[in-house]
Structure 1
Amino acid sequence: MVEPPSQNGEINMINNIGFNSWQNWDIEIAGKLADARRQLHFASQFIAAVGKCYLTHQPDDSHTNMCWEIQHSALVGRMLQGGEQCKFGISPTKFALLKISAAGDVTDAFTLSGKTMVQAENWVKQSLNVSGYHPDQFSRKMHYEIEPHAVDGGAPFSDDILAETTELGKYWGNAHLLISEINTHHPGASEVRCWPHHFDIALLITLNPNASPEQVKTIGVGLSPGDANYPLPYFYISPWPYPENTELLPSLTGNGFWHTKGWVGAVLTADKFPTDKDEQSQIKQLQRFIRSGIAASDQLLSAKE
């Protein structure tokens, strides 16, 4: 059984997060982020492609994923080891690709505004070559498809979406803080990572790690910046395996609701966040939702025993 944080745990989580790290969302523009999100998604594929081309492949595809690095306000890939140690990232607040040294310093950057995917790819290859990685080994072709955008056909990245990309950065940054705190409460939880296919940042709680793959039970907790399911950013908590009966699902708090089309999970969309721009209101509501979603998922999975 998963033990969700108590009411006191909620207060401790707020203190741990700290208001200096939390960035209030501007809920009024949450519905205007889709185009910027799709452009960032395409740009992030360079980070995933570096992992695909230069790192040892992992069965779960984790060599292609990213983490949120607070010091850079960026989604950053894993460290390359074959030449000079370095890693690549994408900063929503700068709308730029970053090259980061093993010491954590940004050694080069490529601003995306007004540039094309081809120009960005040339910069990535040049940066790899400088650090001793064969640029001809690089290919941005991935083994999955993402939502299309004109930038993939040669159109330049927009030069007037910095406010929107910065706002999206707040979602990944705040989600990283919240989900990392969940990680400390659940020893069976995975790393908090951003996955390049769906662009969500998430962790996975494994309830029975010693079970066979066919019997394993998990709870995924994450944030999507928006997708075909919901154009707005949304938090989700999803049990696996999904419950067979979705007619009677446990109640949720914090304005959450159940998604049952294609997958099953508790969802909280950005239009249901507090609009008063108060840190405590936003954090407390999200923690109520997360706590109830984890408890509900655990209840559903326990019923399968």
Structure 2
Amino acid sequence: MTTQMHLAAQYLAAAGISFVEKKDDDSHTNLGFSVEKGTLYTRELDNKSIVLSLSYDLFTLEWNDAGTKNILRLDGTTHAEVLQWINRMVSSSNISVPYSYDIHYELPYQINDDYVFKLQDVSALQQLKENRILAHTILREFLDNNKLNSEIRIWPHHFDTGAFTSLENDSGLAIGLGMAIPDIISHQYYLYISGYKNNNTINVTDFNKLSLGEWKSKGFIGAILNVNGIIKSDGVSFFEQVMNQLITK
């Protein structure tokens, strides 16, 4: 279901590319996550109260236009049918520019017009939602506790929940942190955090062992903690431990 949701999220990213002012850091493509609704959602489209969202609970796309909601059930729907539906929604909302499914980054999966979305495992989809909720609440508490300012967004390329911020002290430290989907670093969803000084990633090879998580120095430089079985306080403690060592480096 991770693959299904990653692919479905690209419709939202393409809406950002089509209808949101371009940003150099690609943040016009990234997505918000609603803990209360269990949905991914775009920024406002075409400078209007229009948002395209993706529901973990219902496995649906939702076109929200100033309080009016249109819903497309993804289960059994082809890629071509999704594009047709979005274009109908764009036309009904009187958006003057066309919707273009033109992703400027590579994904680890292929999609064509005949690709059919399948709700293969409802319980797995619910677990993915819980992972997103856990990541978001961990990041929110960690950032708030440390008076750090950052959006918490889902980046459609790697499909990670992420934040990036600089510490407002003399350390010169910036940190990137979040939750990644399974990849070559880990076969499970995992929290990650890296530190940066002068735009260079901080080397962690001589850091002290963590009580939660582990340091990584190949492929990814920083620390990770598998999400499976942890609670919010574990994640916050993990980020705190890593940041404390990064500050002293």
The two structures have a TM-score, normalised by structure 1, of: 0.74
Change (3 A) 1:155 1:81: closer
Q: Which residue of 1 aligns with 2:206?
A: 248
Indicate if the aligned counterparts of 2:173 and 2:195 stay in contact, CA closer than 8 A: yes
Indicate if the aligned counterparts of 2:148 and 2:165 stay in contact, CA closer than 8 A: yes
Distance 1:156 1:107 in 2: 23
Higher helix share: 1
- List structure 1 runs of 4+ shifted beyond 3 angstroms: 208-211
> Does residue 87 of structure 2 align to residue 87 of structure 1?
no
Report the 3-state secondary structure (helix = DSSP H, G, I; strand = E; otherwise coil) of the residue aligned with 1:62.
coil
Distance 2:142 2:68 in 1: 29
Distance 1:152 1:37 in 2: 18
Which structure 1 segments of 5+ residues have no match?
1-35, 275-281
Q: Which residue of 2 aligns with 1:44?
A: 9
The correspondence of residues 116-155 of structure 1 with structure 2, limited to 5 A, is: 116-134=78-96, 137-149=98-110, 151-152=111-112, 154-155=114-115
Distance 1:162 1:120 in 2: 21
Q: Deviations for 1:199-218, whole angstroms, at most 9, x for unmatched residues? A: 1111112136999xxxx741
The correspondence of residues 122-271 of structure 1 with structure 2, limited to 5 A, is: 122-134=84-96, 137-149=98-110, 151-152=111-112, 154-207=114-167, 217-240=173-196, 241-244=200-203, 246-254=204-212, 256-271=213-228
Indicate if the aligned counterparts of 2:17 and 2:29 stay in contact, CA closer than 8 A: yes
- Note the C-alpha offset of 1:66: 0.7
Indicate if the aligned counterparts of 1:188 and 1:209 stay in contact, CA closer than 8 A: no
Q: Deviations for 1:174-201, whole angstroms, at most 9, x for unmatched residues? A: 2111111222234443111111111111
Distance 1:289 1:186 in 2: 14
The code of the aligned residue for 2:185 comes to: N
The code of the aligned residue for 2:220 comes to: W
> Does residue 60 of structure 2 align to residue 60 of structure 1?
no
Indicate if the aligned counterparts of 1:237 and 1:297 stay in contact, CA closer than 8 A: no
The code of the aligned residue for 2:8 comes to: A
Report the 3-state secondary structure (helix = DSSP H, G, I; strand = E; otherwise coil) of the residue aligned with 1:64.
coil
Counting matched residue pairs gives 246
Report the 3-state secondary structure (helix = DSSP H, G, I; strand = E; otherwise coil) of the residue aligned with 2:201.
coil
The code of the aligned residue for 2:118 comes to: S
Q: Which has the higher contact order (CA 8 A, sep 6+)?
A: 1
Which structure 2 segments of 5+ residues have no match?
none
Change (3 A) 1:152 1:289: farther
The two structures have a TM-score, normalised by structure 2, of: 0.89
The code of the aligned residue for 1:185 comes to: N
Distance 1:147 1:250 in 2: 34
Indicate if the aligned counterparts of 2:38 and 2:55 stay in contact, CA closer than 8 A: yes
The correspondence of residues 280-299 of structure 1 with structure 2, limited to 5 A, is: 282-299=231-248
**Percent identity (aligned):** 25
